[in-house]
Copies of this chain bind each other. A is one copy, B any other.
């Protein structure tokens, strides 16, 4: 899978971009060093999924390897960094990719320095600004990716959509959190915009559009990317409850403590008897949920059949994606790479 993720190339492009920014930022003030350190730490992790799908959208539409597409694809990792940093502020998450979240890093710096004033709002404020910087730098990296202006214009249509859709999806996700009565349907709508389009369909579209792909290719990539994106997010939801912290980079059960209204939880609530549903409603989102509480919720998710239903949905969407990929008018090499990415993004790991 590692070659499919073109991780090395993307990492080099990201490092080169950040290194070009570094002297300018430090010339403003060397006190900006912690902004760069926090970004370096975040970028050290991550699977580079979005750049990989963007790259294979480009290759699938018949273009060859080029530094330009790697740069354009890697710009999506800065967009993702921005989304993660802001998401962690919004959720008050302590960890990300196995390390302290950005706002906690700045908060800790404030405390260590013994500065007057409150450390928590300082941490949040600095992380909001770092997320803004990543969002701006994503745009800058995309535009400076050394592809010709006509290509960039075509790709930008999807890059722009992607940014709007992920922010809209995050807002809908917050609204979902205000409902006691989330359903599988409303949870799936959040998945579609916050995750599925953002992680897979739009990066594929962006890469293909940069390559000048026909509408037929764009549609085929939707037929493949949309179900795969849903399957990917459902797998992520399962990992958020049952996954190995070493893999997720988050403490076990963190999604339960954060109270995420996932499809998995909606499937569970649909199937739960009133007593079990009451336990779920009471404990989901309890920041003090301990190991026993996590184990109790896990048991309900399994015993109601919520987990099995979610796994069945993942299988169904992954199969739909695989069939669409078989039928897609893409180069053979891209079809093979995307087939491997399909498995990697949805396979059972619990």
**B132–A167 CB distance below 8 A:** yes
Task: State in angstroms the CA–CA spacing of A167 and B153 once bound together.
Answer: 27
Chain B residues near A125: list those with CB within 8 A.
Answer: 90, 174
Chain B residues near A169: list those with CB within 8 A.
Answer: 28
Residue A15, interface by CB 8 Å: no
Q: What's the minimum C-beta distance from A107 to chain B, rounded to whole angstroms?
A: 12
How often does this chain occur in the complex, in copies? 2
Task: Name A117-142 residues within 8 Å CB distance of B.
Answer: 117, 121-122, 124-126, 128-129, 131-133, 135-137, 139-140
Task: State in angstroms the CA–CA spacing of A135 and B83 once bound together.
Answer: 13
Chain B residues near A143: list those with CB within 8 A.
Answer: 143, 153, 156
Task: State in angstroms the CA–CA spacing of A336 and B157 once bound together.
Answer: 40
**B160–A140 CB distance below 8 A:** yes
Provided the pairs A168-B29, A178-B115 are in contact, do residues A132 and B129 lie with their beta carbons within 8 angstroms? Answer: no
Contact among B126, B167, B171 for A174, CB-based, below 8 A: B126
**A174–B29 CB distance below 8 A:** no
Contact among B90, B110, B136 for A167, CB-based, below 8 A: B136
**A164–B133 CB distance below 8 A:** yes
Task: State in angstroms the CA–CA spacing of A201 and B135 once bound together.
Answer: 23
Residue A35, interface by CB 8 Å: yes
**B31–A117 CB distance below 8 A:** no
Binary interface profile of A, 59-95, with partner B (CB < 8 Å = 1, else 0)?
Answer: 0000000000000000000000010001001101000
Task: State in angstroms the CA–CA spacing of A122 and B259 once bound together.
Answer: 14
Residue A58, interface by CB 8 Å: no
Task: State in angstroms the CA–CA spacing of A115 and B178 once bound together.
Answer: 6
Chain B residues near A320: list those with CB within 8 A.
Answer: none
Residue A116, interface by CB 8 Å: yes
Residue A163, interface by CB 8 Å: yes
Task: State in angstroms the CA–CA spacing of A132 and B193 once bound together.
Answer: 16
Q: What's the minimum C-beta distance from A156 to chain B, rounded to whole angstroms?
A: 6
Residue A25, interface by CB 8 Å: yes
Residue A172, interface by CB 8 Å: yes
**A135–B133 CB distance below 8 A:** no
Residue of B nearest to A125 (CB): B90
Chain B residues near A161: list those with CB within 8 A.
Answer: 24
Residue A32, interface by CB 8 Å: yes
Binary interface profile of A, 103-117, with partner B (CB < 8 Å = 1, else 0)?
Answer: 000000010010111
**B121–A28 CB distance below 8 A:** no
Chain B residues near A136: list those with CB within 8 A.
Answer: 135, 139, 160, 163-164, 167
Residue A189, interface by CB 8 Å: yes
Provided the pairs A189-B29, A193-B28 are in contact, do residues A92 and B121 lie with their beta carbons within 8 angstroms? Answer: yes
Task: State in angstroms the CA–CA spacing of A177 and B153 once bound together.
Answer: 42
Task: State in angstroms the CA–CA spacing of A136 and B35 once bound together.
Answer: 21
Residue of B nearest to A193 (CB): B28
Task: State in angstroms the CA–CA spacing of A115 and B174 once bound together.
Answer: 12
Q: What's the minimum C-beta distance from A331 to chain B, rounded to whole angstroms?
A: 29
Task: State in angstroms the CA–CA spacing of A35 and B164 once bound together.
Answer: 12
Task: State in angstroms the CA–CA spacing of A19 and B81 once bound together.
Answer: 29
Chain B residues near A25: list those with CB within 8 A.
Answer: 164, 168
What are 11 A-B pairs with beta-carbon distances under 8 A?
Answer: A31-B172, A32-B171, A90-B124, A116-B180, A129-B167, A129-B171, A129-B174, A133-B164, A136-B163, A140-B160, A149-B153
Listed from nearest, the 6 A-B pairs whose CB atoms lie closest are A149-B149, A115-B178, A90-B125, A136-B163, A139-B139, A133-B167
